[in-house]
Amino acid sequence: MNPLESLGRMLLILGGALVVVALTLLLLARVPLAGRLPGDFRLRWGNVSCYFPLVTGVIVSVLATLVLNLILWLLRK
């Protein structure tokens, strides 16, 4: 396989993955409780604030794992 061809395929896959991540973030912004779950920490010191979405991150990780495992399971059949 030509090196440029493999580079082109890799860029297409990475671009598709970025589109999926961007769409997911846009959809998560519309979910009422996303980012405001118990266990998501907001720390404020004067003009400085930090946000740690621990529980939201765990839930997104579990859902992504389930979806990816389902996709891989369907592709093997």
Let me know whether 26 and 51 are in one domain.
no
pLDDT of the residue at 36: 78
Q: Give the total number of structural domains in the chain.
A: 2
Let me know whether 59 and 44 are in one domain.
yes
Q: What is the pLDDT of residues 50-62, one digit of tens each?
A: 988 898 889 889 9
Does this model's pTM top 0.85? no
77 alpha-carbon distance from chain centroid = 26
Count of other CB atoms within 10 angstroms of residue 24: 13
What's the farthest any 2 CA atoms get from each other in the chain?
57
pLDDT of the residue at 48: 94
CA end-to-end span of the chain: 27
Residue 49's beta-bridge partner residues?
A: 44
Let me know whether 7 and 26 are in one domain.
yes
Let me know whether 5 and 24 are in one domain.
yes
Strand (E) or helix (H) holding 22: helix 3-28
pLDDT of the residue at 65: 93
Q: Which domain holds residue 73?
A: 37-77
Local structure of residue 9 (DSSP, 8 states): H
Q: What is the pLDDT of residues 17-44, one digit of tens each?
A: 899 888 888 887 787 777 678 888 889 9
